[in-house]
Homo-oligomer: A and B are copies of this chain.
């Protein structure tokens, strides 16, 4: 089972990497860019068949290692085991 984890800086936390990207984009001709925030996108492959359990474990991994919860938020999505025919919902179990 796969989990997708999105780790983003909390609102109000400075993002120097994003600011540098915004500046460079402006210089490259992308003046319409008003803001850039850069976070992490993590794909976890897990030996786990229960989507609820997988989500719970992935959230625990975020708390323990993958995110710095003082300054970052995270969101976990579980990808259904059989992608074909499935409709985006976690239907394993």
Q: Using CB atoms and an 8 Å cutoff, list the residues of chain A in contact with chain B.
A: 6-8, 18, 21, 24-25, 28, 30, 32-48, 57, 60-61, 64-66
> Are B43 and A36 interface neighbours, CB within 8 A?
yes
> Are A42 and B37 interface neighbours, CB within 8 A?
yes
> Are A39 and B43 interface neighbours, CB within 8 A?
yes
Other-chain residue from B18, B30, B42, B48 in contact with A38 (beta carbon distance below 8 A): B42
- Tell me the nearest residue of chain B to A75, going by C-beta: B41
With contacts A39-B42, A61-B25, A66-B21 taken as known, whether A34 is within 8 angstroms of B47 at the C-beta atoms is yes
> Are A65 and B21 interface neighbours, CB within 8 A?
yes
Chain B residues near A38: list those with CB within 8 A: 40-42
Q: Besides the contacts A39-B41, A40-B41, A41-B41, what 10 more A-B pairs have beta carbons closer than 8 Å?
A: A6-B41, A30-B60, A30-B61, A33-B46, A33-B61, A36-B42, A36-B45, A39-B42, A39-B43, A40-B40
